[in-house]
Amino acid sequence: MMSQTVSTIPSHACRRIVQALIAQYDWALSSEADLVKQVLDTVPPDASPDEMRREAIHHYTTVLYEACRQDEDPHRREQAYRELHRYLYRAAHNRWPELAEDATQRALVLVYEQIECCREPGAFLAFALWKLRHAVQQEQQARSQSLERIGHGVEGEPAVTTDPLAHRERVRVLTAAIGRIPDERKRETIVLKYVAGWSDEEIGARLEVTVSYVRVLRHRGISHLREDEQLRSYFDVEDEGQEI
């Protein structure tokens, strides 16, 4: 009687841990019963709650990896990538809230393209987080280059800035100048176009204006930047420094 009671304790504890994880992360690729069984088959009878939790995450990570990697069941793969998106978005939002959505999308593309490089299924989430870091770097670079394009007032390729400190300073100055544009819609049009990379059609739908008026707003916003004394002074000084 005593041994039966003792043997049920890990099972109850494991079930509570698995239920909490499923509720927290909205897992849907493995049933509660299957996950509990996998954990109990792996951990020792005297396993601590932390050990059971780690093992549950490890097992589910393997399930997630296999679901993302396979192509026999598109619906299951779609569910897997939705869950991975939620996981990566939480991680991104905690550290880079302003980049979270775009960086997460970039990370999912990297994971999809490079999933065969993940050699250990149980480490798939660590692999995905590493891709998220790469995606954040790519997004930061893309946004910096977009701001450079605004500074030159054209839609072509930005000039190359070889000095990282000078590059960051230029981005800071441009960002501040955009913030000084008095019309919110002009500011939003410029940011959505050059930073977020939206099309004129997407911006028009967002602002509830025609595509033609989006171009008007953008033109007026850029004109305001060209007339911004602080911005002009900065680029005048920078140009003089480059000539010396």
Q: Are residues 35 and 135 in the same domain?
A: yes
Q: Are residues 70 and 178 in the same domain?
A: no
Residue range 86-133, pLDDT digits in tens: 999 999 988 888 788 888 888 988 999 899 999 899 999 999 999 999
Q: Are residues 135 and 147 in the same domain?
A: no
C-alpha neighbours within 13 Å on the C-beta side of residue 17: 23
Residue 76 has pLDDT above 90, yes or no: yes
Which letter, b or e, does each residue of 59-71 get, where b requires 16 or more Cβ atoms within 10 Å of its Cβ?
Answer: bbbbbbbebbeee
- Computed over its alpha carbons, how large is the radius of gyration of the chain? 25
104, 139, 174 — which closes off a domain?
139
Residue range 22-38, pLDDT digits in tens: 999 999 999 999 999 99
85, 118, 139 — which closes off a domain?
139
Q: What is the CATH number of the domain that holds 238?
A: 1.10.10.10
139, 165, 188 — which closes off a domain?
139
Query: Which of 90-104, 148-162, 163-177, 193-207 bottoms out in mean pLDDT, i.e. has the lowest?
Result: 148-162
Q: Which two tokens stand for residue 100?
A: 């979270």
Q: Are residues 77 and 188 in the same domain?
A: no
Q: Are residues 109 and 10 in the same domain?
A: yes
Residue 191 has pLDDT above 60, yes or no: yes
Q: What is the pLDDT of residue 52?
A: 95
Q: Are residues 11 and 132 in the same domain?
A: yes
Residue 190 has pLDDT above 90, yes or no: no
H or E stretch covering 41: helix 32-42
Q: Are residues 174 and 135 in the same domain?
A: no
Q: Which two tokens stand for residue 194?
A: 């050059």
pTM of the shown model: 0.60
Q: What is the pLDDT of residue 150?
A: 60
The domain total for the chain is 2
Q: Are residues 81 and 100 in the same domain?
A: yes
Please give the residue range of the domain that contains residue 107.
Answer: 2-139
